[in-house]
Structure 1
């Protein structure tokens, strides 16, 4: 995952032989408009990258809550998808989670091997926080609001030729701060995919979250097959209530069998390393936020290349 402007991380990716880019628009306003996406796509192309995934989300608080203003937010998402289609950007990774209840961690300094620092989640610390302003919504309303969104957006994705890849709730547990979360299990995904039967409506298969769901990773990969459009290749030790993110070669999942499962289903889409430990000498700069420091990602990409071979 790279920022929209060239920096050291772009250079490192090229040196590693990475040619497919996943972008997130940190600090960029109205990034879903055609001109911003066009310039970003071409900026990557000029440096030898194919921009294949947008992993970001326009504002969707009203969409998730089902409150006034959701139709305007949905129009923005539709605009993003149409623009991606015009620019041959294949995959949109999105989440169905009320902000700021996205990927939540309660520690970024759990000791790992060689004094590396790992990220973790422990629900007992979240219990001390007040309820979120959206805590009044019910699970039934959440499902209803999701159906409304899919009915509006999936036909646009079909027309634009863009894959919708829904990321799990992270952590995959419900509720958090009084807000129900409905993308927390294999069963939830089965229901969600059945809500709109389309090849364009699929999954970001985040292995760490599926592991925290206590899912059998290779079996789940084979179960969802061609509905997997994007992969986050990582692992965790623990469950949805308490887990630590591991080194890629040191978690409970057999990562080789996971790679073999992707090969068995014929997966040829984008796969990226995710959430790595912080190594010695890496600081707390914003561009090196916990889970996305450079040295751990270098290790992860080398490890993935080795598994693929």
Structure 2
């Protein structure tokens, strides 16, 4: 496995914690402000150099910047302009040897939780989702058919460039994996639909982000899904949770529904060697970020992940 962590830019405390935990590779979120031009190689080089100088090699870009992806998913008047920028982005990633792009296809409503203070052991908190507590926001409507059409348009437009530049496109499932949120449809909500997404234009450069707890919330059996997708798993979100797609919450990585040690052994048995990062960590004492991307909680999660890898003699870097 390639151990990574999730980093925003500019540098913050998570960079230091990760290096102190032995992390040497980065999943980077690109700046989303007027000062950063996604088509400007110089802007990318500055960010890349800052990470590398700190001892973190950018390995995955996550997410595909919303300023582009929102138009692509909606299929609106700025879609083609946004896709052109994605193509330039892939060229720059190739020049900087960043080989994986994590993207999703959740239009209008992305990653969603209805509660950010679900009590956990010792006074920690995690996030949770309960469909009965969801209040639909004001947003345009979109149908399942329109989403599939927009996804197909996007994949056909960018996959040839991804193949040309050697960039792996890793599709993240919808989280939560429910088929409808108000008037907004969701499509990446089952293993069958993920397979459909892979088959629209088969390629060695189109695969998945195995967000393991999300697949579990779909009601899928990970011990069947992971072997079936083993050649398509380009990136792993190491995450645990408890419940079902209509009512669930994150947990500490050692006390959710999933057997994390057994899953790591399964990845190894399937010959999967890809970037992996801890995800949706608990907010522990002192953490101000309650979204699952705080600082202290990731220390536990990274240590737990490394302990599992060592216990199973799974190599990592």
Secondary structure, in 3 states, of the residue corresponding to 2:229? helix
**Structure 2 Cα separation of the partners of residues 304 and 211 of structure 1:** 19
For 1:266 and 1:159, how far apart are their aligned partners in 2? 25
- Cα deviation, residue 146, structure 1: 0.9
1:36, distance to aligned residue in structure 2 (A): 1.9
Task: Give me the whole-angstrom Cα distance separating, in 2, the residues matched to 1:190 and 1:25.
Answer: 29
Question: Residue 44 of structure 1 corresponds to which residue in structure 2?
Answer: 51
Assess, with a 3 A threshold, how the Cα gap between structure 1 residues 96 and 246 changes in structure 2: closer, same or farther: same
- Which of residues 271, 274, 289 in structure 2 aligns to 1:269? 274
Give the equivalent residue in structure 2 for 1:107: 115
Q: Is the 8 A contact 1:131 1:177 kept in 2?
A: no
Q: 1:60 aligns with which of 64, 69, 85?
A: 69
Show structure 1 runs of 5+ residues with no match.
none
Pairwise CA distance, 1:264: 1.6
Please, what TM-score do these two structures have when normalized by structure 1? 0.93
Alignment TM-score, normalising by the size of structure 2: 0.91
- The residue aligned with 1:184 is 189
Q: Deviations over 1:170-192 (max 9, x none)?
A: 10111112111110110011100
Question: Deviating runs (4+, > 4 A) in structure 1?
Answer: none
Q: Which residue of 2 aligns with 1:243?
A: 248
1:76 aligns with 2:82: no
- Unmatched 5+ residue regions in structure 2? 1-5, 311-317
Structure 2 vs 1, CA of residues 79 and 216 (structure 1 numbering), >3 Å: closer, same or farther? same
**Mapping for residues 132-171 of structure 1, pairs under 5 Å:** 132-133=139-140, 135=141, 137-171=142-176
8 Å contact kept, 2:124–2:285: yes
CA shift, 1:268, in A, is 1.6
Deviations 1:210-257 (A, max 9, x none): 111111123211110121111100011111111010110001111111
Matched, 1:296 2:297: yes
Residue of structure 1 aligned with 2:128, choices 120, 128, 144: 120
1:262-306 superposed Cα distances (whole Å, 9 cap, x missing partner): 1122222110000011112222xxxx3520111110000000001
Taking the aligned partners of 2:284 and 2:258, their CA distance within structure 1 comes to 22
SS in 1 for 2:183: coil
User: For 1:97, which of 106, 112, 118 is the aligned residue?
Assistant: 106
CA gap of 1:204–1:191, structure 2 versus 1, over 3 A, is: same
- Helix, strand or coil: the match of 2:136? coil
Tell me if the contact between 2:187 and 2:193 (Cα under 8 Å) persists in the aligned partners: yes
**Residue 32 of structure 1: aligned partner:** 38
**Equivalences, count:** 301
Once the two structures are TM-superposed, the CA of residue 31 in structure 1 deviates from its matched residue by 4.7
Tell me the secondary structure at the aligned position of residue 247 of structure 1. Answer: coil
Distance 1:7 1:131, change over 3 A: closer
Task: Tell me the CA shift for residue 69 of structure 1.
Answer: 2.2
Q: CA deviation at 1:129?
A: 2.6
Aligned residue for 1:226, secondary structure, equals coil
- Provide the rounded CA distance (Å) in 2 between the counterparts of 1:241 and 1:110: 15
CA distance in 1, matches of 2:13, 2:300: 16
Would you say the 8 A contact 1:131–1:178 is kept in 2? no
Counterpart of 2:232? 227
Distance in 2, matches of 1:279 and 1:231, equals: 23
* Aligned mates of 2:209, 2:21 — CA distance in 1: 24
